[in-house]
Structure 1
Amino acid sequence: MNDGAPSTTRRGLLATLGVGASALAGCSERLWSQAETPGSEQVSLIIKTVPADDDRIAATIASRLRENYTAAGINATHEPVSEAELYRDILLEGEYDVFVARHPGLDEYDALYGLLHSEFYSERGWQNPFQFSDVTADSQLEAQRAADEDDRPAVLADLIDHLLQTTPYTTVAFPYTVSGVSEPLQLPVPPRRLHQYLDVMSHPENGPRDGPLEVGVFGEQLTDQLNPLMVDRNRIDGLLDLVYDPLARWIDGEYVPWLAETVEWSEQGRTRATVTLREGLEWHDGESLDADDVAFTLDFLEDTSMGAVDDGVPAPRYRGKQTLLDRTDVTGPRTIDCYFTETSRSVARRLLTVPVLPEHIWTERSAVVADRQTRAITHPNEDPVGSGLFAVTEAEAATGFELEPFDAHVFRDSQDRPDLFENFSQFEGITFRISPNPGAMSDLLVDGEIDVTVSELPPEIARSVRNADTVSTVTGTTDAFYMIGYNNRQNDLGNPNFRRICSRLIDREHAVSEFFEGFAQAATTPHELVGFHNRAFDADLEDGDEMPDLSFPGTDGEINTSRVRSLFNEIGYSYDDDMLLE
Structure 2
Amino acid sequence: MTEGTSTWRRELLAGASGVAASALAGCSERFWSHVENTAPEQIELTIKAVPADDDAVAVKIMSQLRENFQAAGIDALYEPIAEAELYRDILLEGDYDVFVVRHPGFDDIDALHGMLHSQFVSGVGWQNPFHFSDVTVDDYLENQRTASDGRDEVTVDLLEYLEETVPYTVVAFPHNLGVVRRELPTSFVPKRSFEYVQVMSLEPSDGPRETPLEVGVYGEGLTDRLNPLAVDRSRIDGLTELVYDPLFHRIDDEYVPWLADDVSWEESGRTEAVVTLRDGVSWHDGTELDADDVVFTHRFLEDTSLGEIEGGHPAPRYRDRQTVVEGVDRIDSLTVRFSFGNTVRQAAARSLSIPLFPEHVWEPRSEIVAERQTQALAVEDEELIGSGLFEIADISDGSVSLEPYDDHIFRTDDEDRPAILEGFSQFSGIQFNVAPNPATMIESIRAGETDITGTSIPPSEVEAVHDSEEVRLVSSMTNSFYMIGYNAHHPELGNPRFRRIISRLIDREYTTSELLDGYAEPAETFGSLVGIRDGEWVHRSDPVVSRFPGTDGEIDVDRVRSLFEDAGYQYENGTLLE
Aligned to 1:521: 521
SS across alignment from 2:115: helix
Cα-to-partner distance string for 1:391-413 (whole Å, 9 max, x where unaligned): 0111111x312111111111113
Counterparts of 1:345 and 1:367, CA distance in 2: 35
Deviation of 1:77 after TM superposition, in Å, equals 0.7
Counterparts of 2:36 and 2:316, CA distance in 1: 41
Counterparts of 2:139 and 2:369, CA distance in 1: 36
Counterparts of 1:353 and 1:76, CA distance in 2: 41
Counterparts of 1:558 and 1:369, CA distance in 2: 51
SS across alignment from 1:199: helix
Aligned to 1:298: 298
Counterparts of 2:287 and 2:36, CA distance in 1: 68
Deviation of 1:37 after TM superposition, in Å, equals 7.0
The alpha-carbon distance between structure 1 residues 293 and 520, as it changes in their structure 2 partners (threshold 3 A), is same
Matching residue's letter, 1:403:
L
Deviation of 1:36 after TM superposition, in Å, equals 6.2
Matching residue's letter, 1:219:
G
Aligned to 1:446: 446
State the structure with more CA Rg.
2
Residue 572 of structure 2 is aligned with which of 541, 566, 576?
A: 576
Aligned to 2:120: 120
Deviation of 1:234 after TM superposition, in Å, equals 4.9
Deviation of 1:95 after TM superposition, in Å, equals 1.3
Matching residue's letter, 1:195:
F
Which 4+ stretches in 1 moved above 2 angstroms? Answer: 34-38, 204-207, 232-235, 369-373, 544-550
**Contact 1:161–1:546 (8 Å) recurs in 2:** no
SS across alignment from 1:573: coil
- For structure 1, the 5+ residue unaligned runs are 1-31
Aligned to 2:548: 552
SS across alignment from 1:566: helix
Structure 1 length as normaliser, TM-score? 0.91
The alpha-carbon distance between structure 1 residues 439 and 308, as it changes in their structure 2 partners (threshold 3 A), is same
**Contact 2:410–2:417 (8 Å) recurs in 1:** yes
Counterparts of 1:546 and 1:450, CA distance in 2: 46
Cα-to-partner distance string for 1:186-227 (whole Å, 9 max, x where unaligned): 113211112211221111345321211111112232212211
Aligned to 2:258: 258
Matching residue's letter, 1:43:
I
Counterparts of 1:378 and 1:109, CA distance in 2: 31
The alpha-carbon distance between structure 1 residues 53 and 549, as it changes in their structure 2 partners (threshold 3 A), is closer
Aligned to 2:4: none
Aligned to 2:245: 245
The alpha-carbon distance between structure 1 residues 42 and 234, as it changes in their structure 2 partners (threshold 3 A), is closer
**Contact 1:158–1:544 (8 Å) recurs in 2:** no
Aligned to 1:455: 455
Aligned to 2:6: none
Matching residue's letter, 2:302:
E
Matching residue's letter, 1:508:
R
**Contact 1:165–1:548 (8 Å) recurs in 2:** no
Matching residue's letter, 2:359:
E
The alpha-carbon distance between structure 1 residues 64 and 234, as it changes in their structure 2 partners (threshold 3 A), is closer
Counterparts of 2:339 and 2:117, CA distance in 1: 22
Aligned to 2:185: 186
Aligned to 1:88: 88
Counterparts of 1:232 and 1:179, CA distance in 2: 26
Deviation of 1:235 after TM superposition, in Å, equals 2.2
Matching residue's letter, 1:201:
M
- 1:171 matched to 2:170: yes
SS across alignment from 1:297: helix
**Contact 2:503–2:545 (8 Å) recurs in 1:** no
Aligned to 1:104: 104
- For structure 2, the 5+ residue unaligned runs are 1-31
Cα-to-partner distance string for 1:347-399 (whole Å, 9 max, x where unaligned): 100000111000000011112223332111121211101100000111111x3
Aligned to 1:289: 289
The alpha-carbon distance between structure 1 residues 549 and 200, as it changes in their structure 2 partners (threshold 3 A), is closer
Report the number of matched residues: 544
SS across alignment from 2:493: helix
Deviation of 1:231 after TM superposition, in Å, equals 1.0
Cα-to-partner distance string for 1:474-531 (whole Å, 9 max, x where unaligned): 1111111111011111111111010010100000110111211111111111100000
**Contact 2:187–2:475 (8 Å) recurs in 1:** no
Sequence identity, in percent? 53
* Equivalent runs, 1:215-234 vs 2, <5 Å: 215-232=215-232, 234=234
Cα-to-partner distance string for 1:12-66 (whole Å, 9 max, x where unaligned): xxxxxxxxxxxxxxxxxxxx9x986751111111111111111111111111111
**Contact 1:366–1:374 (8 Å) recurs in 2:** yes
- 1:210 matched to 2:210: yes
- 1:369 matched to 2:365: no
Matching residue's letter, 2:516:
F
SS across alignment from 1:443: helix
Structure 2 length as normaliser, TM-score? 0.92
* Equivalent runs, 1:489-528 vs 2, <5 Å: 489-528=489-528
Counterparts of 2:507 and 2:35, CA distance in 1: 35
**Contact 2:291–2:334 (8 Å) recurs in 1:** yes
**Contact 1:227–1:234 (8 Å) recurs in 2:** no
Cα-to-partner distance string for 1:75-105 (whole Å, 9 max, x where unaligned): 1111111112211211111111111111111
Counterparts of 2:318 and 2:396, CA distance in 1: 28
Counterparts of 2:54 and 2:266, CA distance in 1: 47
Cα-to-partner distance string for 1:385-444 (whole Å, 9 max, x where unaligned): 1100000111111x3121111111111132101111111111111111221111111111
Counterparts of 1:86 and 1:329, CA distance in 2: 39
SS across alignment from 1:162: helix
Aligned to 2:331: 331
Aligned to 1:56: 56
SS across alignment from 2:102: strand
Matching residue's letter, 2:129:
P
Aligned to 1:14: none
SS across alignment from 1:325: coil
Matching residue's letter, 1:223:
T
**Contact 1:176–1:520 (8 Å) recurs in 2:** yes
Counterparts of 2:270 and 2:108, CA distance in 1: 21
